[in-house]
Structure 1
Amino acid sequence: MDELPVAVVGAGPVGLAAAAELLERGLEPLVLERGDQAGSAVAAWNHVRLFSPWSELVDPAAARLLEPTGWARPSGGVHPTGGEWAQRYLQPLAEALGERVRFGAEVVGVARRGRDRIVGSGRDGEPFSVHVRSAEGEERVLARAVVDASGTWTTPNPLGGEGLPAIGERAAADRISYRVPDLAAERVRYTGKHVVVAGSGHSALTALAALARLGGGTRISWVLRRGGIGNTFGGGEADQLPARGALGLRAKEAVDAGLITVVTGFRTEAVERTGGSIALISADGRRLEDVAEVIALTGFRPELSWLSEIRLELDPTLQAPVALAPLVDPNVHSCGTVYPHGAKELSHPERNFYLAGMKSYGRAPTFLAQTGYEQVRSIAAELAGDHEAAARVELIMAETGVCGGAGLFDEPELLTLSAPPAASN
């Protein structure tokens, strides 16, 4: 199997970094991306500015691959938008990898050649069979290993407070968005209307801070499932990522100025159409009336259905690898720190199969690009047989400055501005 490539699912920041790390280790990567460009998911939030500066957004092996091409490394202290990240780094990186990156190639299933998940005999001796759908039809690609860096962008959590869509949520889909709005393009949609923002993470804070500047009679309700605001605004000046701390302060100023009405302890049970608007009904019977638009920013979750024939070992709560889950559990870790982890924590009973990037966190929040880069560096070392380097993972996460003990995060939120859920496959 040594002559086969390592299949990398997703050409987002972590997937492309995995390819660069593998190539530097003498392993041949094959990146399969269902979108039409590198960083397709990043391009979908191109208007959002990242918390992390350029110095933390470029994988070291990727930089070494790019430098001989004449690539101009962006200034380290600058915070790019998603669009700038894609244009100035991800797309040049994909070009440097050349034919090792295939666009328009959607991975629809992965298995061991000739075996479903039940068959164990000779399993590890068979290559992976990666089923790919493209404009040309379906095909099977054989691979010595698989790194799934497909992210979670295509599977946002619903508005409903039970983890399932609220009654009527699907029927009101034309009034509900699950992304941070681009107000430069969608100003008319929200200006002068009653807009509800649901969620307690940094994506919600981003939307609130932007909406508060609209004026024009815009009415903003901020729906929180938790019983109070508490430390939702983050660490402020204590945050080691200053841009992240400043965001929380801007949102707090808008609340203090009366531009945003906070509704706490509201778990949406139903969505009703009422004339030309909608109403949200909570589990305790409260109603939010005359709502024109809802922006549901309640986190993301991994899409696992196309991995049904792979022997995964996932935490039953977070849907993250069992060895990683205790390190990222938001019910335990409240300061944004994550212990060093790599191939060992990301492994599964299925040998040489790894979840990496945002998808590896399952439903846990606050993923940073640097985390993913360290993950794939360790995975590449492990696949190359350098077990010492694979175990030597050093990662220091920037703290939020918020330390409140267990239960800080009532609902997992994606830290969209630090790193997106990578690319869809």
Structure 2
Amino acid sequence: MSLTALPTVVIGAGPVGLAAALHLQSRHLSPVVLEAGTRVGASIREWGHVRLFSPWAYNIDPLAAELLEEQGWRSPDPASYPTGADLVSQYLEPLAATPSLADAIRLGARVTAVSKRQRDRMKDAGRDESPFVVRYTDATGEHEILARAVIDASGTWQAPNPVGASGIPAMGERAVAGHVRYGIPDVLNTERERYAGKRVLVVGSGHSALNALEDLATLRRSAPGTTITWAVRRPSLRRVLGGGENDQLKERGRLGLRIADRIAAEEIELLAAAHIDRLEPTGRGIIAWSDGSPLPAVDEIIAATGFRPDLALLDEVRLDLDPATQSPRRLAPLIDPNQHSCGTVRPHGALELAQPDAGLYIVGMKSYGRAPTFLLLTGYEQVRSVAAAIAGDWEAARRVALQLPETGVCSTQFDAEERAAASCCGAAAPDTSSPSTQDASTCCGGPAPDGVNACCSRDATAKAEGKAGCGCNSVPAAPVLPPATTSCCSRT
């Protein structure tokens, strides 16, 4: 059987996996979607209570919308913000139920390995002509599929990063596993009893951590005994809290502002420059140790430390991955947060995602490896390009377009942060040798709009409301946020 007569296997029936299958079908190719869960969007269902930062307009694949609308589906308000559960019920489930996709999806089918038929990773001869072997298990046992191409859209949700700051579990982390919750727990509903009235430590500095903190702060209002401690590895929150009102995803920016307010109101105790290397169960609770010093005892830990790709199922194929991000090597410079974090990812597609074994592509969140800030719109453009490449239409595969909303804050703005702590919130004197740090986004909401006589976004808002200002430019200088400080800047 020739390669072109074989199906393309898509691993994962999440938003990007289903979009991949749909784009393959639009190219008259036959997809087989293998989903480990018993329902589509299995991982999203685990954080169904979380509201996305991105509105519906960024979460629906254009080709999928066309197909659904032909069958009478009404698109949600493109400007409204879905929860994970909304994304599943209002989009993924209707899409998976369309006749063109329903027969292509196999649920409860967990992929365990991908290889080349009769070619281990060492063998060169005839490799490109050999089909892929995709092995999976389901309720009836082990099975194999021969495939012309493989698109891995399995995501990273099932492989969370540990609490330990060294990238491996902290000493004792496994011993206290019953009190560590990875990801974003449903604090206000199904997991309320676990956290209400408890001492909770949140570890992490990404948007998952901010979501968990916001829910805990809400819980604290009805369960006053709840205490919240937030451990971050950075010495300052200025890049953690984001671009405030300058973030083009407004809800993402506003969440950072709300957390800043929570800290200022002492609802959250902030422990900056915390590098946890040991977790110790004691009679007083769990003690996390950072650089030889104990943090306050807690009852529960939420590890919102991000995710990493599980590459075990691809161990027998040839991969070319960036050693730091674990993303495809040609994609890495576009997404590496050590180089930038503005949200301005350049257009990319099949050329950047291709692996040495022709026909193998890692897409979606998994394509970002350990890098954060992935948006579904990125994945949809990825799989459109990949489907074109598999079909041999390289002109369409190269013709990629991607315009993402900026975060309002770039890491390049903070190159001198730890040494200068320049901030409109009254931190150390600005570093005049680096003008870009003067208007870096801060806990005051980011720089003021052009032409407004204000020191920052909040100052501008306050003056627009007839107030004297927010006071950011009238407080004495303060150093970079030290460990165990409970404020994001000298203003508080």
Secondary structure of the 2:365 match is helix
Residue type at the aligned position of 2:193: V
Determine the structure 2 residue equivalent to 1:14.
Answer: 16
Q: Is the counterpart of residue 155 in structure 1 residue 159 in structure 2? A: yes
Q: Is the counterpart of residue 142 in structure 1 residue 146 in structure 2? A: yes
Secondary structure of the 1:146 match is strand
Choose which of 49, 57, 60 in structure 2 pairs with 1:58. Answer: 60
Secondary structure of the 1:214 match is helix
Q: CA deviation at 1:406?
A: 7.4
Q: CA deviation at 1:288?
A: 1.6
- Contact conserved, 1:337 with 1:397, CA < 8 A, in 2? yes
Q: CA distance change for structure 1 residues 407 and 37 in 2, over 3 Å: closer, same or farther? A: farther
Determine the structure 2 residue equivalent to 1:113.
Answer: 117
User: Following the alignment from structure 1 to structure 2, what is the Cα–Cα distance between the partners of residues 305 and 275?
Assistant: 39
Determine the structure 2 residue equivalent to 1:423.
Answer: none
Runs in 1 of length 4+ with deviation above 4 angstroms?
A: 406-410
Q: Deviations over 1:277-312 (max 9, x none)?
A: 211011x21112321011011110000011111100
Determine the structure 2 residue equivalent to 1:241.
Answer: 249
Q: CA deviation at 1:388?
A: 1.0
Question: After the TM superposition, which of the residue ranges 378-387 and 155-164 deviates more from structure 2?
Answer: 378-387
Q: CA deviation at 1:403?
A: 2.4
Q: CA deviation at 1:72?
A: 2.0
Determine the structure 2 residue equivalent to 1:202.
Answer: 207
User: Following the alignment from structure 2 to structure 1, what is the Cα–Cα distance between the partners of residues 164 and 178?
Assistant: 16
User: Following the alignment from structure 1 to structure 2, what is the Cα–Cα distance between the partners of residues 61 and 23?
Assistant: 11
- Contact conserved, 2:339 with 2:411, CA < 8 A, in 1? no
Q: Is the counterpart of residue 349 in structure 1 residue 353 in structure 2? A: no
TM-score, scaled to structure 2? 0.81
User: Following the alignment from structure 1 to structure 2, what is the Cα–Cα distance between the partners of residues 383 and 228?
Assistant: 46
> Percentage identity across aligned positions?
54
Determine the structure 1 residue equivalent to 2:198.
Answer: 193
- Contact conserved, 1:20 with 1:65, CA < 8 A, in 2? no
Determine the structure 1 residue equivalent to 2:392.
Answer: 385
Q: Is the counterpart of residue 300 in structure 1 residue 307 in structure 2? A: yes
Question: After the TM superposition, which of the residue ranges 329-338 and 366-375 deviates more from structure 2?
Answer: 329-338
User: Following the alignment from structure 1 to structure 2, what is the Cα–Cα distance between the partners of residues 57 and 272?
Assistant: 41
- Contact conserved, 2:113 with 2:314, CA < 8 A, in 1? yes
Secondary structure of the 1:125 match is coil
Q: Is the counterpart of residue 104 in structure 1 residue 112 in structure 2? A: no
Q: CA deviation at 1:77?
A: 1.1
**Number of residue pairs matched by the alignment:** 409
Map 1:138-287 to 2 at 5 A: 138-182=142-186, 183-215=188-220, 216-275=224-283, 277-282=285-290, 284-287=291-294
Q: Is the counterpart of residue 399 in structure 1 residue 406 in structure 2? A: yes
Secondary structure of the 2:278 match is strand
Choose which of 337, 360, 378 in structure 2 pairs with 1:330. Answer: 337
User: Following the alignment from structure 1 to structure 2, what is the Cα–Cα distance between the partners of residues 80 and 338?
Assistant: 23
Q: CA distance change for structure 1 residues 407 and 121 in 2, over 3 Å: closer, same or farther? A: farther
Secondary structure of the 2:412 match is coil
User: Following the alignment from structure 1 to structure 2, what is the Cα–Cα distance between the partners of residues 230 and 268?
Assistant: 21
- Contact conserved, 1:197 with 1:294, CA < 8 A, in 2? yes
Secondary structure of the 1:142 match is strand
Q: Deviations over 1:66-110 (max 9, x none)?
A: 223222221211111000100111111111111100000000000
Q: CA deviation at 1:364?
A: 0.5
- Contact conserved, 1:9 with 1:149, CA < 8 A, in 2? yes
Secondary structure of the 1:273 match is strand
- Contact conserved, 1:343 with 1:375, CA < 8 A, in 2? yes
Q: Deviations over 1:1-59 (max 9, x none)?
A: 21211100000010000011111111111100010111000111010001111111111
User: Following the alignment from structure 1 to structure 2, what is the Cα–Cα distance between the partners of residues 339 and 55?
Assistant: 19
Question: After the TM superposition, which of the residue ranges 181-190 and 101-110 deviates more from structure 2?
Answer: 181-190
Residue type at the aligned position of 1:28: S
TM-score, scaled to structure 1? 0.94
Q: CA deviation at 1:62?
A: 1.3
Unaligned runs of 5+ in 1: 411-425
Map 1:70-81 to 2 at 5 A: 70-81=72-83
Residue type at the aligned position of 1:101: I
